[in-house]
Structure 1
Amino acid sequence: MPSLAIVGAGPQLDLAIARDVLEYSPAGSLDSAPPTTPTATRPSSVESETNLRLYGAVPATQAVLPAMRQAGAGTLLYTSGAGSVRPVPRAAHAGAAAAALRNWAVNLHKVLADSGIQAAHITLDVTIGMSSFYGRPTATADQISPLYWDLHTTHRDEAERIFRG
Structure 2
Amino acid sequence: MSTLAIVGAGPQLGMSIARRFAREGFSIALLARRREPLEKLTATLRNEGGDAEAFPADVSDPDSLRTTLAAVEERFGGIDVLEFSPAPSKADLRARPLIDASEVTVESVLPEFDMYIRGGITAVRQVLPGMLSRGKGTIVFTTGAGSGPMIFPQVANVQIATGGLRNWALNLHASLAGRGIYVAHVALAAAIGQGEPDAEPDAIANAYWELYTERTEPELVYNALPGDWQMDRVADKFIVD
What is the TM-score when the length of structure 1 is the normalising length? 0.89
The unaligned stretches of length 5 or more in structure 2 are 9-57, 225-241
1:104 maps to 2:164: no
Name the counterpart of 2:217: 158
1:26 maps to 2:75: no
The 1:103/1:137 distance shift into structure 2, 3 A limit, reads: farther
DSSP 3-state at the match of 1:39: helix
Conserved in 2, the CA contact under 8 Å of 1:41 and 1:93? yes
DSSP 3-state at the match of 1:105: helix
CA distance in 1, matches of 2:192, 2:95: 20
Q: Return the offset for 1:127.
A: 2.4
RMSD of Structure 2 on Structure 1 (CA): 1.9
Q: Return the offset for 1:130.
A: 4.3
DSSP 3-state at the match of 1:31: helix
CA distance in 2, matches of 1:67, 1:45: 35
How many aligned residue pairs are there?
160
CA distance in 2, matches of 1:138, 1:25: 19
The superposition leaves residues 64-84 of structure 1 with CA deviations (integer Å, 9 ceiling, x where unpaired) of 101100110000000000111
CA distance in 2, matches of 1:151, 1:26: 19
Pairing 1:79-118 to 2, within 5 Å after superposition: 79-85=142-148, 86-118=150-182
The unaligned stretches of length 5 or more in structure 1 are none
Name the counterpart of 2:55: none
DSSP 3-state at the match of 2:142: strand
DSSP 3-state at the match of 1:127: coil
Whichever of the two has the greater Rg, that structure is: 2
Q: Return the offset for 1:138.
A: 7.4
> Aligned partner of 1:45: which letter?
S
> Aligned partner of 1:148: which letter?
Y
1:3 maps to 2:21: no
DSSP 3-state at the match of 1:28: coil
What is the TM-score when the length of structure 2 is the normalising length? 0.62
Conserved in 1, the CA contact under 8 Å of 2:197 and 2:203? no
Pairing 1:21-60 to 2, within 5 Å after superposition: 21-29=81-89, 30-60=93-123
> Aligned partner of 1:121: which letter?
H
Name the counterpart of 2:18: none
Q: 2:206 aligns with which of 146, 157, 163?
A: 146
Q: Which of the pair is proportionally richer in helix?
A: 2
